[in-house]
Each structure stands twice: as C-alpha cells, then as structure tokens.
Copies of this chain bind each other. A is one copy, B any other.
Amino acid sequence: MKLTLRDLAEKLGCHLLGDSSISVTNVSSLQSATSESLVFVEDVQYLDAALSSSAAAVIVGEFAAGNFAASAKKPLLISPQPRLAFARAARRLRDPDRNRVIHPSAIVPASAELGKNVAIGARAILGEHVKVGDETTIGSGSVIGDNVAIGGHCRLDANVTIYPGTTLGDRVVAQAGAVLGSEGFGYVRDSQTGRYEQSPQIGRLIIEDDVEIGANSTIDRGALAETRIHRGAKIDNLVQIGHNVQIGENVVIASQTGISGSVTIEDNVVIGGQVGIGDHARVEAGAMLGGQCGILPKKVLRGKGVVFWGTPARPVREYLKELAFLSRSAKKER
C-alpha cells in the first residue's frame, strides 16, 4: 500500500519534518531499504546510517527534534515511541488481502452465522452453530468445532483446531497448528486396579480480545470451570496452557513454556521461554520469570517488577549469588 508521509504522520501522531508529499510503500531494515521504504531509529548512534540508507524517510525518537533535524537529508517522522510508530506504520502499509472469499471447498453449514467480509480458506471446516465476526480470516485446513464463537478481525492461520464451545474475542490471532480448547490432563486413579480414568474435562476456553497465540501451541479447556486468557496476552509457539488456568491482561509468554492446571498468572507478568509452572501456583502482577525457571505447585510468587530465576524460582539476585558462590567454591577445591 502506498501512503504519503503527510498521511502516515497524521495517522501515527508523528511530527513530520521534510517533504510531506513523498510516498512510501513498505517498512524495512536499514540494510534492505529501497527508495520506497520507511525505516526507524531508536538510538542516535544509528541516525547517520539511517540518513545514508536508501530509505525514503526515517521514523526517529525525539532526540532528533532539535537543530539536527533541519540539516537532515531525508524527511523525519518524530515520535516519542519510534519503535511503536514503526510497528503501526507497518500495519498501515500492509496490503489488504487480495482475495477475501469463502473458498468453495470450505465446509460452512447453514447454521453458521458469518459477519461481513469473512474469509475462509480452502478445506476449512466449520461445525454447527459457529459464529464468525466481521473481517475475520479462517485459514485453510482449520477445523472449528460446534458452537465456537469467533469475534471480528481475528486471524486463524492454516491447520488450526478449535474444540467445540470455545469463545474468541476480537482481533485474536492463532498461528498454524495451534490447538484451542483441548481436554486437560486430569485423571483419577482407581485404587483397586491402579488404572487411570479421565476426570471430566467439560469446561470451556475463553480467549479475550487482542490475544495472540503462536504456532503449535496448545490451550486446554477448563475441567468443570473455564480456562481464560485475558485481553492482550501474547503467547509464543509451542506453549502449553493447562485446564482452569487464568492468564492476566498483557501477559507475555515465550516459547515452550508450560503452565499446569489451575495456575493464575496476573496482569503484566512477563514469562521467558521453557519456564515450567506447577499446578495451582500464582504469579502476581508484574513479576518477571527468567527462561527455564520452575515454579512449584501452589507456590505464590510476589512482587511487581521482581525477576525470578532458577528451579525452584527465587529472586534473581539471590540466585546469582548462589551461582557465584558455587563457582568460586568449586574452583577453590583444587
């Protein structure tokens, strides 16, 4: 999509210095910029490189607002959050889908309620009584169970599976292979025979607005109650979320982390990759969990802004002291 700098600056809330009639069609890195590219610089040390690049214009931080800007060789879009402005510019410049259709090979029962301008890929399968909001895209090969409700402006990629009864808010993204609403891992052992039988896994999964879920991640439905991913949570690839879990608003979860049943992650928690959280644990708002750390079942981690690391997880400062002590002591021995 082609936009003038004037247009972009207005939409992004940037202060524009330079020729506002110039147009751009894409965002890029400094290295791969062309004469239609918009680039960005957060740090003054890269500004020269940006100005010498082939880009048409540069989004910069407010550090560039002074005298410097007057002499700039390219138009500047000045923003208090240049990285954010760049992300938004990318979204503005993205070409609209050329082909928003319901592919004739998709299975869409008469009971489906589709909003406006819904796109459904080849061989996607909708169960009975599925609701799909305006402008939502369902990828090829995806399987949407009975009574699933999907909001507007969602994007489900290829080969996604959504179990019956699951609810998705607006602007939810699920990348390829994600499984939403599977049955949780709950068994009762028969003390007579030693065999396990499944506990009922008949609750629901509710995913709120603006949640994004990576490829091949799995989120289980509630056992009797619900699993809920609150608005704005971002979940990477190959993440596991168990039954009855509550994930707070704007929580970030990196790849391959596993969250056991009935865990509560409060708002704004940041979780690294390969973290493991035992059942019924609670991580309080604003905590940060370092990669590969492990939280014991029922544990409560307190402290906004505290970073935890290690297994069992402890405040990182403590853990680093332990590592340093261990290293020194082992070296001393011989």
Q: Which positions in A face B, CB cutoff 8 Å?
A: 26-29, 31-32, 81, 83-84, 86-88, 90-91, 105, 107, 121-123, 125, 139-141, 143, 145, 157-159, 161, 163, 175-177, 179, 182-183, 185, 187-191, 194-200, 202, 210, 212, 214-216, 218, 220, 224-225, 232, 234, 236-238, 240, 242, 250, 252, 254-256, 258, 260, 268, 273-274, 276, 278, 291-292, 294, 311-312, 314, 318, 321-327, 329-331, 333
Q: Which B residues are in CB contact (< 8 Å) with A143?
A: 121-122, 139-141, 158-159, 176
Q: Which B residues are in CB contact (< 8 Å) with A88?
A: 197
Q: Which B residues are in CB contact (< 8 Å) with A191?
A: 81, 84
Nearest first, the 5 A-B pairs at minimum CB distance are A90-B200, A161-B176, A143-B158, A29-B224, A179-B215
Q: Which B residues are in CB contact (< 8 Å) with A141?
A: 123, 125, 141, 143, 159, 161
Q: How far is the CB of A291 from chain B (nearest CB, A)?
A: 5
B240 touches A32 (CB 8 A): no
A314 to B254, CA, bound (A): 23
A188 to B86, CA, bound (A): 10
B188 touches A81 (CB 8 A): yes
A27 touches B294 (CB 8 A): no
B31 touches A225 (CB 8 A): yes
- How would you classify the secondary structure of chain A's contact residues: helix, strand, loop or mixed? loop
Complex A-B: 21 CB contacts under 8 Å: A28-B224, A29-B225, A81-B191, A84-B190, A84-B191, A90-B202, A157-B163, A158-B161, A163-B176, A185-B234, A185-B236, A187-B252, A215-B220, A218-B237, A258-B274, A274-B274, A292-B311, A324-B330, A325-B330, A326-B326, A329-B329
- From the candidates B87, B122, B158, B322, name the one contacting A198 in the complex (CB within 8 A): B87
Q: How far is the CB of A55 from chain B (nearest CB, A)?
A: 12
A98 to B330, CA, bound (A): 62
A87 to B83, CA, bound (A): 51
Q: Which residue of B lies closest to A202 (CB)?
A: B90
Q: Which B residues are in CB contact (< 8 Å) with A90?
A: 199-200, 202
A88 to B199, CA, bound (A): 8
Q: Which residue of B lies closest to A222 (CB)?
A: B29
- From the candidates B91, B123, B256, B325, name the one contacting A256 in the complex (CB within 8 A): B256
- From the candidates B84, B188, B329, name the one contacting A83 in the complex (CB within 8 A): B188
A182 touches B175 (CB 8 A): yes
Q: Which B residues are in CB contact (< 8 Å) with A125?
A: 121-123, 140-141, 158
A258 touches B276 (CB 8 A): no
Q: Which residue of B lies closest to A39 (CB)?
A: B224
